[in-house]
Amino acid sequence: MPKRSEGPVNIGANTSNPQQIPIRPVDKMAFIQAMMNSSVMKESAAKELIARIGGHVTEQGYTELISQANSDMGSAGFQLLTMKHPVDNIRYLGLINKDADEPSRLGSKLTVQQREYFKAVIECIARTEPGPFSSVSETELINLEVATTSLAPRPGRGSQQAGSSSQAVWDSTQAGPSTQVEDENTPPGGTQRAERSTQAGLGTQTTSQKVLSKQLRTSTLHALVNESWLSPSPDRSSHYCLGVRTLMELGDFLLNVEGLPEITKKGLEKLV
């Protein structure tokens, strides 16, 4: 996960203008609500938003606002975090959930199958040389084979075989209420049903799994770009890189991806 500071975020040089407009609680709450709605925005856009909400705000005032907001949201597990995305060299401000499990961080709009597909996508991009911010073509990502992690035996249920460390990080977060398999926009025939079974301790479990069609994989990739989980490559058409939101929220998972190139691991460690 990205390094976080409980104190003020050092966004930029302090202004020499002493006439800082006091930050009103109502303005702070309006800004927090806006961040909850967008999750991630360019830092320049965040500053413009604050100015529209409460008038002129200096760099020092902006820093103080972030600090106050983090203090207010800390008990709820949320935090505002800044990061310079190495793909486009732009600074972003993101609202992250420090306490949520990995699937929750992917957003409630995604189905179970979309989350499994997204996991495969970020693992593929992370493993791509030379890293850590390489890109992978849309065609390759659409044709990825997606493992069904929900079928893997859980620790303490009979299987002692260890999986990859990234698999353990992901699997440890899969418990909880089921999410919808398809949304109302899923076209007929958009998924394919596959029956599989796995030995889990004392018995065999059979799970009915729906596999995303290529059409839904394409729309999922575009949705992940819109939500900043993925980023279009700045120099390669129809290629995708890891998005700033993925780097902010899924740093631990990325660092535990099996087969992660050493150069990628070092680059991620410096960033997250």
Rounded to whole angstroms, the Cα distance separating 55 from 44 reads 15
End-to-end CA, the chain:
5
Q: Residue 43: pLDDT band by 50, 70, 90 thresholds?
A: very high
Q: What is the pLDDT of residues 91-143, one digit of tens each?
A: 999 998 877 656 556 655 788 889 999 999 999 999 998 766 789 999 999 99
238 pLDDT above the threshold of 90: yes
- 3-state SS assignment for residue 13: coil
pLDDT at 184: 41
What fold does the segment set 112-150+214-272 form as a domain? Arc Repressor Mutant, subunit A (1.10.10)
State what percent of residues in the chain have pLDDT above 70: 65
153 pLDDT above the threshold of 90: no
260 pLDDT above the threshold of 80: yes
Rounded to whole angstroms, the Cα distance separating 272 from 255 reads 9
6 pLDDT above the threshold of 90: no
Rounded to whole angstroms, the Cα distance separating 74 from 84 reads 23
What fold does the segment set 25-99 form as a domain? Aspartate Aminotransferase, domain 1 (3.90.1150)
Q: Where in the chain is the domain with CATH 1.10.10.10?
A: 112-150+214-272
pLDDT at 36: 92
Q: Which of 6-10, 38-42, 76-80, 249-253 has the lowest mean pLDDT?
A: 6-10
195-223 average pLDDT score: 63
Rounded to whole angstroms, the Cα distance separating 80 from 62 reads 12
pLDDT at 102: 64
188 pLDDT above the threshold of 60: no
pLDDT at 104: 56
Looking from the CA of 269 toward its CB, the CA atoms found within 13 Å total: 8
pLDDT at 203: 37
State what percent of residues in the chain have pLDDT above 90: 39
Rounded to whole angstroms, the Cα distance separating 103 from 166 reads 14
Q: What is the pLDDT of residues 164-174, one digit of tens each?
A: 444 444 443 33
Note the residue count of the chain: 272
pLDDT at 146: 86
33 pLDDT above the threshold of 50: yes
Q: Where in the chain is the domain with CATH 3.90.1150.220?
A: 25-99
Q: What is the pLDDT of residues 170-186, one digit of tens each?
A: 443 333 323 333 444 44
